[in-house]
Amino acid sequence: MEHISDLLWTGPWWKNKGLNPPAKRLYCPALDDQAPSALNGYDGSVLNGIQIMPEWDKYFGDPSDKTRGLMVAAQTFGSFIMLPFAPLLSDGIGRRKTLSLGSTIIGGGVLLQAMATTVAHFVASRVLIGLGLCIATNAAPLLITELSYPTQRAPITAMYNGSWYIGSILSAWITYATIRTLSGSVWAWRIPSMLQAVPSLFQAVFVWFCPESPRWLVANGHDLEAVKVLTKYHANGRERDPLVYFTYGQIREALSMEREISAMTSYATLFKTPGNRRRMRIVLAIGFFSQWAGNGLVSYYIGDVFKGVGVTDPPTVGLINGSLQIWNCAVAITAAMLVDRLGRRLLFLSSNTGMLITFIGWTLATAFFSTRGDKSAAHAVLGIIPLFYFAYNIAYSPMLVAYALEVLPYRIRARGFTMMNATICIGITTNQFVNPIAIGKLGWKLYIVYCCFLLFQLGYIYLFLVETKGKTLEETAAIFDGQKEVEQVANVGYQAVTESRIRSFKADDVGDVEGGGIPGEDIQLTLSRHNSMAPTIASERSVKTSADTNFYQDATASTNSKAFGRYR
């Protein structure tokens, strides 16, 4: 049986002569879809930066640890409020409309934050930003993973979470610049806040230059549009290209299988079947692990961490923070490019092992400085933190979103992703509230808790994480339901390829009139052994009865079955 790799370009996308200019231009708006993650990174880092500014402290009356925790966590509260509704928007009105709506709300919230005059005003604006981020970050990765060319899906989706650091870098260096040039002015913290609105409003407009997800289109009865997207962006305009039929056939088969398992989709569906429970125990775990690996200490309270080893000068902390974000970004993007070569399981196991080892060293060095005042131990901490983030970024930055989306089938993808975001929010909230208080009371002993949890993470990943390298999006999602389902989805794809070749052959046999070829009539295809879920291409093209136009009749000509037989 031939493999999908026989139909695909496996080299760099810019060298693929099979992708026409519109298809290559797809990567420009696809980069725009990375913006929610970058905005999230900017938001987290900008709070890091402005909290070390004396101007911000003075303006808000030197807020207590509890007040600071509330101001930081308000964005997470906003995300919590919107979490149940974000997947309903993504599945209901489409990925693009949802992404544009979320980006617009973020822009409004950011402008309110930049103009905040009281703690309550600042907190309210942060809640609004959280609402928008929740909407945008639910839709954007879905659109990316469902739209990408098969061989680019994993690295592009992996880059989504890695692009968090792009926003973080911009924020860190912008705040460093305002610290140096606007010392003593409230604009030192207002300008970094205000600039966050630019990419969000840019994205709200430019997402409309990106096509809609073909998976969403098929699931909502727009098969003709879905095939047009696949034809234009994956097959250089060739509607009868085998890859178009392969992808379209697998999408329809996977959706039909999901429909058989559960006619109605709700949050309860996520835990209704053994396959879904296996998916969710991984998805929820890696979401929480991503925030409780110790990274939250530097992500949100870098000033307190460095104060613990004697580094208190704001420009110095800002410089270290900016340099750290560049390092993180470089590692995360490099790892994103390697996900299909090294595999998911190897990356996650290497990441958790490396984090455990480096965090133990971080804990020991901080303890030596705190108890003995050892300056060399303080210097060691500054060297260990980049090593810790190297380990974190080789898996959790690139694969957190990418892995979750590829193991979740379409009908529960948005809701399952929302549940993972909920666990992330829980992890962030506990970090944001607990860490400043715990550091103040426990000091370096807090790090022991993280060491124990990192050991637990490593064991959990070893026992439960499943390798998904080398499979299509539909085949990957079916892994958790059993080998039979994987083979069923794969076989339909291969059958679609065979039938596309038969269709092209019959079209070529149609007579030629005065040197101009006449395209043949549409030929009945068996792209699924299940009943049709929605109107098909044929029913959108004509007003014939469904019996005349349904692609999914099992009584297809025996020629097709014989032709496909040699691929089994």
Does residue 143 carry a pLDDT above 60? yes
- CATH (residue range 270-469): 1.20.1250.20
Interatomic CA distance for residues 132 and 113, integer angstroms? 14
Averaged over 280-298, what is the pLDDT? Answer: 87
Query: Could you count the other beta carbons within 10 Å of the beta carbon of residue 359?
Result: 27
Contacts 24+ apart (CB under 8 A), 482-488: 482/275, 485/257, 488/253, 488/257, 488/529
Least confident of 14-28, 55-69, 338-352, 454-468: 14-28
Q: What angle do CA 438, 299, 347 make, to 5 degrees?
A: 110
Could you tell me if 423 and 288 are in contact, meaning their C-beta atoms sit under 8 angstroms apart?
yes
In this predicted structure, the answer to whether residue 63 has a pLDDT above a threshold of 70 is yes
Lowest mean pLDDT: which of 127-141, 268-282, 338-352, 490-504? 490-504
Q: Given this model, what pLDDT does residue 535 score?
A: 36
> Is residue 239's pLDDT more than 90?
no
Band of the pLDDT at 532, cuts 50, 70, 90?
very low
DSSP string, 467-528: --TT--HHHHHHGGG-HHHHHHHHHHHHHHHHHHHHHHHHHHTS-EETTEE-PPPPPP----
Residue type for 558, please? S
Percentage above 90 pLDDT, the chain: 21
pLDDT at 281: 94
Read off the DSSP letter of residue 185.
Answer: S
The predicted-structure confidence for 10-38, as pLDDT tens digits, reads as follows 555 555 554 544 444 444 444 555 667 78
* Domain 12-210 identical in fold to domain 270-469: yes
Q: Is the pLDDT higher at 445 or at 15?
A: 445
pLDDT band of residue 262 (cuts 50, 70, 90) is low
Mean pLDDT of 483-490: 57
| Domain parsing of the chain, residue ranges | 12-210, 270-469
Q: What angle do CA 190, 194, 199 make, to 5 degrees?
A: 155
Look at residue 451 in the predicted model and tell me its pLDDT. Answer: 93
d(C-alpha 553, C-alpha 526), whole Å: 6
- Gap between the Cα atoms of 445 and 155, Å rounded: 38
Token digits for 33? 């879809």
Q: Which residue has the higher pLDDT, 251 or 297?
A: 251
**pLDDT tens digits for 371-394?**
877 778 777 878 888 899 999 999
With a cut of 80, say whether residue 97 has pLDDT above it: yes
CATH number 3.40.30.10 given to 12-210: no
Burial of 163 (0-12, 13-18, 19+ CB in 10 A): buried
Q: Which pLDDT does position 371 carry in this prediction? A: 80
For residues 29, 32, 34, 38, the Cα torsion angle rounded to the nearest 10 degrees is 170
C-alpha distance from residue 197 to each of 40, 111, 208, 516 (Å): 12, 7, 18, 54
Whether 355 has a pLDDT exceeding 50, the answer reads yes
Per-residue pLDDT, 212: 92
How many other CB atoms are there within 10 angstroms of residue 339's CB atom?
24
Find which of 197-201, 364-368, 452-456 is predicted with most confidence, using mean pLDDT: 452-456
Say yes or no to pLDDT of 314 above 80.
no
Nearest to 179 by CA among 303, 293, 334, 20: 303
Highest mean pLDDT pick, 119-133, 150-164, 189-203, 313-327: 119-133
Rg of the chain's alpha carbons, rounded to an integer? 26
Residue 259 corresponds to which tokens in the numbers above?
A: 């429909």
Please state the rounded mean pLDDT for residues 131-151. 87
Is residue 428 very low, low, confident or very high in pLDDT (cuts 50, 70, 90)? confident
Average pLDDT, the chain: 76
- The 3-state secondary structure of 47-94 reads HHHHHCCHHHHHHCCCCCHHHHHHHHHHHHHHHHHHCCCHHHHHHHCC
Cβ atoms of residues 503 and 557 within 8 Å: no
Q: Which region among 157-166, 402-411, 449-458, 462-471 has the lowest average model confidence (pLDDT)?
A: 157-166
Among 396-400, 499-503, 515-519, the range with the most confident prediction by mean pLDDT is 396-400
Mean pLDDT of the 142-147 span? 87
> What string of DSSP letters covers 208-275?
GGSPPPHHHHHHTT-HHHHHHHHHHHHSTT-TT-HHHHHHHHHHHHHHHHHHHH-SS--GGGGGTSHH
- Residue 558 CA to residue 302 CA, distance in Å, equals 68
Contact 477, 409 (CB under 8 A): yes
The residue type of 326 is: I
Q: Is the pLDDT of residue 560 over 60?
A: no
Whole-number pLDDT of residue 462: 96
Query: Average pLDDT, stretch 1-10?
Result: 53
pLDDT of 525 reads: 39
* The pLDDT value given to residue 102: 93
Percent of the chain with pLDDT over 70: 75
pTM, whole model, 2 decimals?
A: 0.72
Buried b / exposed e over 61-95, threshold 16 CB at 10 Å, is eebebeebbbbbbbbbbbbbebbeebbebbbeebb
